[in-house]
Amino acid sequence: MNAMHPKQTKIAVVTGAGSGIGRAVAAELLRTGWSVALAGRRTETLEETAALVPEGPSIAVRADVSRPDDVAALFAAVHDHFGRLDLLFNNAGTFGPGGVPLEELPYEAWRHVVDTNLNGAFLCAQAAYRRMKEQDPQGGRIINNGSISAHTPRPQSIAYTATKHALTGLTKSLSLDGRPYRIACGQIDIGNAATDMTERMRTGTLQANGELAIEPVMDVADVARTVRHMAELPLEANVQFATVLATTMPYVGRG
């Protein structure tokens, strides 16, 4: 835990902050003057994220976003430590088992992806919404991590793709329901950011035509800067949807 900076005014919660996109976004916010609550399942990886910007005011909170009690405890800790909440980056997620044909996907694997990617996002958004509605001054921003899969699926990704499509509905409903309370909500759809989760892109991943192909990736820092731009807009402005992707990845057109 790092001490709160006396001049700090913006408070963020980043879920899935122990690795990948969540770690990059958390570090970017800490480097640029935000206080950040780092949420994730493993305290040691959250502390590693905090150590990237040791001067940045942060707390590490172990939380499984699919568990209502964990989510309630997370946002209570944020309130107790920082007193308010300006931003939730709803990032925690899992792809699920790779390379499993649809007809062989166990229900337990489907349920785990849905519980993490969709139910977890809802629980965190609901908790953030309550805080933002009740606090004074009222308002805040929620940014959901969608995916290119919120638009176009990959082969053998039914659970992940279904949850990311559902996140788009969550984003739109939050954006609408938040209007009376100055709660803005947007979504960032990311394609092939270089993280552990996308390591297979560099060695060959299954394409729609059944072939394996190496795909280009982009620096995850570019994603982090985009999230910060969305986060730092005044609440009178909102990036409703943003798509950030490796320029030549197979998404636009047919390859």
Q: What is the pLDDT of residue 44?
A: 97
Q: What is the pLDDT of residue 9?
A: 75
Query: How far is residue 68's CA from residue 30's CA, in Å, rounded to a whole number?
Result: 27
Neighbours of 158 (CB within 10 A): 17
Distances (CA, A) of 16 to 7, 98, 132, 223: 26, 20, 21, 15
Task: Just list the catalytic residues.
Answer: 160
pLDDT digit string, tens, across residues 99-119: 789 999 999 999 999 999 999
Q: What is the pLDDT of residue 254?
A: 56
Distance of CA 3 to the CA centre of its chain: 24
Q: Where are the domains of the chain?
A: 11-194+220-245
Q: What is the pLDDT of residue 3?
A: 43
Q: What is the pLDDT of residue 165?
A: 97
What's this model's pTM, rounded to 2 decimal places? Answer: 0.91
Q: What is the pLDDT of residue 8?
A: 46
Q: Which residues pair with 87 in a beta bridge?
A: 12, 141
Q: What is the pLDDT of residue 214?
A: 77
The third-level CATH classification (topology) of the domain covering 11-194+220-245 is Rossmann fold (3.40.50)
- Taking only Cα atoms into account, the Rg of the chain, rounded to an integer number of angstroms, comes to 18
Name the residue among 38, 40, 34, 77 with its Cα closest to residue 55: 34
For residue 234, give every residue at least 6 positions away whose Cβ sits within 8 Å of its Cβ, in sequence order, or none. none
Residues of the chain scoring pLDDT < 70: 1-8, 197-202, 253-255
